[in-house]
Structures are given as C-alpha cells and as structure tokens.
Structure 1
C-alpha cells in the first residue's frame, strides 16, 4: 500500500477555534514602524547595533534622516516612527552591520545593510525584521 493511501487530508483551520482578541488590541501599535535584528550565526539577538531611518524627499533622490536607534539586549529598539510621524512615502532603514561585527571581533562582507520600502497606509503597524550573519542577510515584512 502506498504511503498515505486511504488517509483523508486534515483541515487544521476548521479544527482551531478563533483566537480571542483583547479589547482595544486592534488599535495598539497602529501607524508605528519597528524592527528586530537577529544574529543567525549565534541564534541570538543582535544587541547594540546602530539603526538609522530616513525618508525620501520628493522630488529628487534626497534622504532626510528621521531617527537613530541602537538595539537593546533583545535586538529591538524603540519604534522608529510614532503614529503621528508616519506618512505615506519611501523609507530606508540603514543598519550598521560592520560596526556590530567588529564589536564582536569579526569581520563582515557587508559594511551595512539598507532596506528600502514604501509606506502606503500610514495607519498600519509595520515591522521590518533583519536576520544577519557576517556573510549574509535576510529581511521581510513582519507583523
């Protein structure tokens, strides 16, 4: 008999009840921009990494720095944009990875990482995580 023959596929979503949402939870974090940096070489948060946020000024390729932060022991920092600061536009997160790796006694291939993204709805909570190693990086839109 072939593996799996005669077994009906399971549909997990039908088995799981909807998760309760705390009152007012939908409003928490609206319009903010956060990040989280993880060192994938060690599997630990990247503490003490410098991050800068800039916004592209239209017209022309002029960037205006809006914030600078350092990651804490958990690889996180205070929100880079508060709700009243978020505006539609093109933004850039600049991560000082060489400085971080040098602080750990390592060299790295990438002296910095820049992630450029567009905010279309300034009321949304945006989270842009970064996973780093001395020779690679990955980013994605988180939640």
Structure 2
C-alpha cells in the first residue's frame, strides 16, 4: 500500500515537472521559475509566498525578489538574466501560511532551497508539499521563456 502511494506521488511529480513553458515565443527570458504542488489535494498550490535572497559578502541574506504562486502554482518573472549574477541564492516558500489557510497545522515554517549561480543558466525550482513534509527538485537548463 505504501509503495503504491509513493508511486502515485512520484507520478504526480513527473506530470508536474513535464508542464514546462513554451520556448521560442519571443517573450522576455525567465531565469528563475518556481512551481509548487499540493500533494494532499493533488492540485497546484495557489498563493504560496515565495521569497528569494542573495548571500552578501558579509554572509547575511539580502532580499532579492518575492511574489506569490498563481492559480497554476507557478511564479514567473522573479528576476532577469542581468540581475541573476554569480552568487549564492536562497528560495524560501511560506508553507506555514499556505497550510494554515487550508485549516492544517503544519510541521514546517517554510521550505527552502539554497543554490549557487555560476553562469547564465535557468532554474525551475519545484516543490511537492504536504503539511508534514516537502520535497524539492530543480531543473537547470539554458534560457526558457516566461
């Protein structure tokens, strides 16, 4: 039984990952996208607060960008190629507020991903959320359209 649940969770994640934005439409490039799925309901996680921080020379985290996920559980347009320079970045998802708004008592305050940017690569950060656990993964590629 547990293995079939794990299989379904993995399958949901694959479907979630496969819904990439179209390439070649002439739109501005989107070097950082966030996608969030609520695995309890099996739907996109809407209005999840997202904050991006950049590590400063003094080792403190400085605010870099923020927003909320759309009705599709996605957040585009956080930054541009010009602004996403070499450095260490942290993406923080406000999971506590999301779950509290649905009447759950969550275990985590937030979910975070810390990564180093070392070139002009583009990132899609994906998160699968439940009240007591989360899983993240990243697709790293060349430029994608927003």
Shorter-chain TM-score above 0.5: yes
Large movers: runs of 4+ above 4 Å: 27-31
TM-score (norm 2): 0.74
TM superposition shift of 1:77:
1.4
Which residue of the partner structure matches residue 6 of structure 2? none
1:47 matched to which residue of 2?
46
> Counterparts of 1:40-79 in structure 2 under 5 Å?
40-58=39-57, 60-79=58-77
Residue-by-residue CA offset, 1:48-88 (whole Å, 9 max, x unaligned): 11000000012x32111011101111001122221121101
Give the structure 2 partner of residue 107 of structure 1.
105
Instruction: Indicate conservation of the 8 Å contact 1:34/1:81, yes or no.
Output: no
Task: Find the structure with the greater CA-based Rg.
Answer: 1
Which whole-Å CA distance do the structure 1 matches of 2:106 and 2:117 have between them?
Answer: 30
**How far apart are residue 31 of structure 1 and its match?**
6.3
Matched position secondary structure for 1:42: coil
The size of the alignment, in residue pairs, is 119
- Provide the rounded CA distance (Å) in 2 between the counterparts of 1:28 and 1:78: 12
The TM-score, its normalising length taken from structure 1, stands at 0.75
**Kept in 2: contact 1:110–1:134 (CA 8 A):** yes
Report the Cα offset of residue 28 of structure 1: 6.9
Structure 1's unaligned 5+ residue stretches are 1-21
Higher helix share: 2
In structure 1, what is the equivalent of residue 129 of structure 2?
A: 132
Tell me if 1:141 matches 2:134.
no
Instruction: Give the 3 Å change call, closer, same or farther, for CA 48–142 of structure 1 in structure 2.
Output: same
